[in-house]
A = this chain, B = another copy of it.
Amino acid sequence: MSNPFFKKQGPFNILEVLKILKINHDNIMNKKQDIHDVKDLLSSSTNDITFFHSKKYKDVANKTKASYCITTNHLKNELPKNCVPLIVDNVLISVSLITARFYPEAVNDNFDDTVADITKTEFKEKVKFGKNVLVGKNVVLGTNCSIGHNTIIEKNVSIGDNCSIGSNTVIKNSLIGNNVKILDNCIIGKHGFGFFPDLIKNLRYPHIGIVKIEDNCEIGCGSTIDRGSMSNTVIGKNTFLDNQIHVAHNVKIGENGIIAGQVGIAGSSVLGKNVKIGGQAGISGHLKIGDNVQIAGGSGVIKDLPDNSKVMGYPAKNIRQFLKESK
């Protein structure tokens, strides 16, 4: 988990945490313990609460330093002795509730009411800016940047040197490198499309990750890049995105990528370096796409692709095979 930006609340007494989880506190020894944060199994320390929801993470669960772990009856025996299992029906929903307690601002993305007109900020001498530019609290802007008309740099954004931001663009919760160009009408850093469906009212979960755009990137007009939920969304250095592209939460794109217009990349997929994607192609969520992969325009990728693959079609397959079969 990485949350350089979202203001953490707490600490909270363990009894308050148990109350949110609707768990009986009879078995809790130290009823005075304060919980400082919710973290993953690996990065938790004694005063944190963690979670464990899949056997995949068995080996890490074994070594967690957290004092408490949200988990299931089925998995609880994998935890070390120092860690009290907190048994729930749905681990991820419970984590969501606890995370929302620690990071309430990461659940909803209401507009940033800390912004001021740039002419009333320290940046008025430093950057070149258009009309009606707004800048929030906790913003860093490098040298030699330009920011277009009506653009909003909300709180918690850092932009490097020599960057050009277009007009009508909104950026929040983002770390942007040097020589980056973000064109008009983009939305960078809003929360992802992540929630727990419920028949009455879906439960949104907090997104405490950020968007990281590395040096020399270009982001085309009308693109949306959502910030991560528990990790970050990353655009690797010197990667160019064309217009109207959607990059979902937690996606990582390697360096030197070339991604044509209207491509969509679903949540948590990880792309290697030197990846080339043709227009309107789509990549499903939670996939691993290797280095030097080429995906033809309009393709739909639904499984992992090894390094140097060249694919086409839906579902995407070897391009030669596809063209042969589709004659």
Interface residues, chain A, with chain B CB atoms under 8 Å away = 108-113, 115, 117, 128, 130-132, 134, 146-150, 152, 164, 166-168, 170, 179, 181, 183-185, 187, 190, 193, 195, 197-202, 216, 218, 220-222, 224, 226, 238, 240, 242-244, 246, 248, 256, 258, 260-262, 264, 266, 278-280, 282, 284, 297-298, 300, 302, 313-315, 317, 323, 326
Given contacts A216-B201, A242-B193, A280-B280, contact A150 B168 (CB under 8 A): yes
Q: Do the beta carbons of B166 and A168 come within 8 Å of each other?
A: no
A148 neighbours in B (Cβ, 8 Å): 110-111
Please tell me which one of the listed residues B109, B181, B221, B264 contacts residue A224 in the complex, with CB atoms under 8 A apart. B221
A218 neighbours in B (Cβ, 8 Å): 195, 202
Q: Do the beta carbons of B224 and A224 come within 8 Å of each other?
A: no
A112 neighbours in B (Cβ, 8 Å): 130
Instruction: Label chain A's interface by main secondary structure.
Output: loop
Given contacts A187-B222, A238-B202, A314-B313, contact A279 B260 (CB under 8 A): no
In the bound assembly, the distance between CA atoms of A258 and B194 in angstroms comes to 11
CB nearest to A187 among chain B residues:
B221
Q: Which of A113, A221, A242 has the most CB of B within 10 A?
A: A221
Q: Do the beta carbons of A113 and B130 come within 8 Å of each other?
A: yes
CB nearest to A215 among chain B residues:
B201
Q: Do the beta carbons of A238 and B201 come within 8 Å of each other?
A: yes
A-B interface, 4 closest residue pairs, ranked by CB to CB distance from nearest: A111-B148, A298-B300, A193-B242, A187-B221
Q: Do the beta carbons of A149 and B152 come within 8 Å of each other?
A: yes
Please tell me which one of the listed residues B170, B226, B260 contacts residue A243 in the complex, with CB atoms under 8 A apart. B226
A202 neighbours in B (Cβ, 8 Å): 216, 218, 238, 240
A146 neighbours in B (Cβ, 8 Å): 110-111
CB nearest to A133 among chain B residues:
B111
